[in-house]
Structure 1
Amino acid sequence: MTTSADFSTSSLSFDLSAGPQPADTSARDDSISFETLGLPRPLVRALARQGIDTPFEIQRATVPDTLAGRDVLGRGQTGSGKTLAFGLPMLARIADGGRARPLHPRALVLVPTRELAMQVNDALLPLGKAVGVFLKTAVGGVPYDRQIDSLRRGVEIVVATPGRLADLIARGVCRLDDVEITVLDEADQMADMGFLPEVTELLAKTPADAQRLLFSATLDADVDALVQRFMTDPVTHSTAPPTAAVSTMDHHLLLIPPRDKFPVTASIAARAGRTIVFARTQLGVDRLVAQLAAVGVRAGGLHGGKTQRMRTRTLAEFREGRTNVLIATDVAARGIHVDGISLVLHVDPPKDSKDYLHRAGRTARAGETGAVATLVLPKQRRTTLAMLEKAGVQPAEVRVRAGDPALAELVGAREPSGVPVRVEPEAPRRPSRPSGPRRFGDRPTGERRYGGRPRTHTR
């Protein structure tokens, strides 16, 4: 692990390999527990009930500084435990204060995608319940009513995408004056997606002396403006280099003739393990789902053009094992946190090294083994190799064709059944509601539901 403390924001550099570095502390230390890190016992007991007893490296590094109120920059590879690294001390600090006022959350977690917001919320909700801290997601693609209702009742932590949070603020139903802690999760992806202006505006609405935490798989110059403007003497903890260095992950570059692209894809998708397939466009995702169904491979499709209901259902089916293949655009590159993905397949090579690393991070998580395969046409070979070199990847380069035994040896490919599967069509979107004032009087005001059980509202 690399740790650099007390960076001056006027000369902040993310080249963490430069200059003298502390001794490596990445070895597992079972003597360090969540309780010795300073977390309250109710949180520790809640973690134990989930079978989580020993903190990951990024958690050991960042939790004490966050509990102490420091601004923190944390970099760790996907699956390294970043959500609990910022979530646990945030819950502890918020639980130590008073209840949130209506419309005034006390902590804010900003994430780039709806899927990631829900993943963060699902991870922290039962832990928040253990210490009496209430959370709510604020994301697009779902009705405003429940989000507004929760804010009016008072909620301590809001996990939000920038666009929806800005909308709620514009509607006058959320104010950031009381925010004590702001977390930017996957900050570099928010920069890549063009969210920096909105994120900057939102951060400017929080108190100047509020604590700021920035966590990401990579920390590069794209987020430097945010660091310089909003963070004060941040301590930086890095537990992963910005290249592919996961020893349990194998990388394969499969050179294929153009006419064999779909047959090769279908045979890989028909493998026995859980597989995530990345395509470049929404149309490409939908087409591949239909093509695979025609040859007997059931797959779910995930992209930004799907309704939130369909995206949630598709992810649930994949996570629960009802579907072994998920086909997605880059919208899912960081938003999907599913255990047991043994293969990432790039049907279309990613555009740059950062996208490759984030896609690849869906497998070989938290010590598991996994493989990443990239299908490359002859005209794509040179640019793909250059991209992989920048990512720090030296793949095994193999020329294959449909039916090649090497596909079975490398990635477990097998012949699809050929029996078509039924693909359930997506229900049409509900028509937009007419403009005008909304009504929020459809819920009782005397109780508050949390975790499926009613609670008397005392705020």
Structure 2
Amino acid sequence: MLDPAPALAPARTADRSFADLGVPGPLVRVLADQGITTPFPVQAASLPDSLAGRDVLGRGRTGSGKTLAFALPLLARLLGGAPRATGRPTPREPRALVLAPTRELASQIAATLEPLAAAVGLRVTTVFGGVPQGRQVQALRGGVDVVVACPGRLEDLMGQGEVSLRRVEVTVLDEADHMADLGFLPAVQRVLDATPTGRQRLLFSATLDNGVDRLVRRYLRSPATHSVDPAVSPVQQMAHHVLRLADRDAKTGVVRELASGTGRRVLFLRTKHAAKKLAKQLTTQGIPAVDLHGNLTQGARQRNLAAFSAGEVNVLVATDVAARGIHVDDVELVVHVDPPTEHKAYLHRSGRTARAGTEGTVVTLVLPEQERDVRTLMRQAKVQPREDRVAPGHPVVGRLVGEVAAVREYVTPAQRVAEQQGTPGTGRRTQGGRARAARPGGAGDGRGRSGSRGQGRRGRAGGRPHGDRTR
């Protein structure tokens, strides 16, 4: 069984180029234009087999370079297939399918595929819930070569007769273990059963538990298996800290301090309500923050993630929706404001930092009643954290924060949209009509209900309950 691990993009290998591995020249040129000239280990190991048409079982962690490991052979397969009689894709009948567990991951896979596909005259579209299906149906009717989909919406469109998988030549399952964790494997099996037998299939997963091994046995034919680990364990690339707190008031103050640094940081909470409340409170205190959770509309999720990715804000307050499938480089600090309940969630959350070979810091805040559970969590995650009992203003907290960012007012993406639409925003109004955060000092306690609990390119975000649900 493969062990779970958080994200890390290892150093590229310099001994073989993409051209040496057999990647078609037009795709190599697009990669070069993006500054990508040598493959990551998972790519160098798997591409000879996948380009040759073999089924592949890959150990592909988030951030390891696995998206290109399946995107390149997928597009090469389509380029080498029979030419289209009309020069256009057949309506409703894609030739390649990529299944992903979340809308965010599907969007980012598509963002990696699109410039490569466009360079060779192929069309890509995404299919997921959380947004009206009209544009997706329109794209399918117009004809696309590659569909990147979450299982739930894809099944809906199959049932409506808007898409058929009978012409699919290559199928990719990305983060199959996450699909299993979310209970999506029955839907995945129904989708795979609708694709032709004997065609190429590529499966990437960090583990083979929770039924993923059954998928491998049923749908992959004598797969070439590639398990490529980074030279340095990603867990070892992170500095792990457990901060023990006397009570919730102390926790509130420490959370505010940890959010106040100049670098990017992600704060994880258990509930959607608590994430929304904390982001609003931090912004009101002059620490601009955006939230990311399942209660947001698709547009709001996309705008908030874009604000964080672009550096407009330094703080992302999230539920576990952001633990996988959200790839933002240069996150220096991950804070488990609410400790997760199991070690895989801890590793996946923590994997938002220490990416692309960089170091990172992970902090877990622990109230007295959580100490036993957190000790078990760390043991299962094979982590030996530094432990300190702290309060607001403690020197350890100050060292973790580093340089403190200047307090500033911030107009949130939601407020800007409300102003553009001529509707009241969610923040205070100034004489100029702009909704702005209040000056520091007007916050609540930040607790809500939170007692516990780079080779890709940033793309659009999306999702739906059932087959692509998020928290």
1:245: how far off? Answer: 3.9
TM-score (norm 2): 0.82
8 Å contact 2:262–2:405 — kept in the other structure?
no
Find the counterpart in structure 1 of residue 434 from structure 2: none
- Three-state SS of the structure 2 residue aligned to 1:217 is coil
Find the counterpart in structure 2 of residue 437 from structure 1: none
Structure 2: stretches of 5+ with no match in the other structure: 5-9, 422-471
- Three-state SS of the structure 2 residue aligned to 1:182 is strand
Cα distance in 1 for residues equivalent to 2:401 and 2:217: 45
Find the counterpart in structure 1 of residue 253 from structure 2: 263
8 Å contact 2:62–2:325 — kept in the other structure?
no
Find the counterpart in structure 1 of residue 469 from structure 2: none
2:169 to 150, 164, 180: 180
1:414: how far off? Answer: 4.3
8 Å contact 1:244–1:357 — kept in the other structure?
no
2:227 to 238, 245, 259: 238
1:77: how far off? Answer: 3.2
1:352 maps onto 2:339 in alignment: no
Find the counterpart in structure 2 of residue 128 from structure 1: 117
8 Å contact 1:78–1:362 — kept in the other structure?
no
2:148 to 134, 159, 183: 159
Find the counterpart in structure 2 of residue 203 from structure 1: 192
Q: How does 1:377-416 map to 2 (within 5 A)?
A: 377-412=367-402, 414=404
Find the counterpart in structure 1 of residue 36 from structure 2: 52
Amino acid at match of 1:105: P
Cα distance in 2 for residues equivalent to 1:93 and 1:303: 37
8 Å contact 1:290–1:423 — kept in the other structure?
no
Amino acid at match of 1:376: V
2:297 to 307, 323, 327: 307
Cα distance in 2 for residues equivalent to 1:421 and 1:405: 29
- Three-state SS of the structure 2 residue aligned to 1:152 is helix
1:279 maps onto 2:263 in alignment: no
Cα distance in 2 for residues equivalent to 1:221 and 1:168: 27
Find the counterpart in structure 2 of residue 83 from structure 1: 67
Find the counterpart in structure 2 of residue 433 from structure 1: none
1:216 maps onto 2:198 in alignment: no
Amino acid at match of 2:200: Q
Q: Percent identity?
A: 53
8 Å contact 2:18–2:38 — kept in the other structure?
yes
1:248: how far off? Answer: 2.5
Cα distance in 1 for residues equivalent to 2:70 and 2:108: 14
1:216-261 alpha-carbon deviations (Å, 9 max, x no partner): 33333431221121111122211239x9644432111111122211
Structure 1: stretches of 5+ with no match in the other structure: 1-13, 18-25, 431-459
Amino acid at match of 2:142: R
2:241 to 252, 255, 260: 252
TM-score (norm 1): 0.84
Q: Between Structure 1 and Structure 2, how many residues are aligned?
A: 406
Cα distance in 1 for residues equivalent to 2:98 and 2:330: 27
1:13-43 alpha-carbon deviations (Å, 9 max, x no partner): x2589xxxxxxxx986412110111100111
Find the counterpart in structure 2 of residue 30 from structure 1: 14
8 Å contact 1:263–1:402 — kept in the other structure?
yes
Q: Quick one: structure 1 residues 27 and 328, their matched pair in 2 at CA, closer, same or farther if it must change by over 3 Å?
A: closer
- Three-state SS of the structure 1 residue aligned to 2:218 is helix
1:138 to 119, 127, 139: 127
1:64 to 44, 48, 64: 48
Cα distance in 2 for residues equivalent to 1:261 and 1:16: 33
- Three-state SS of the structure 2 residue aligned to 1:257 is coil
Amino acid at match of 1:354: K
| Structure with the larger RCO, 1 or 2 (CA within 8 Å, 6+ apart) | 2
1:197: how far off? Answer: 1.1
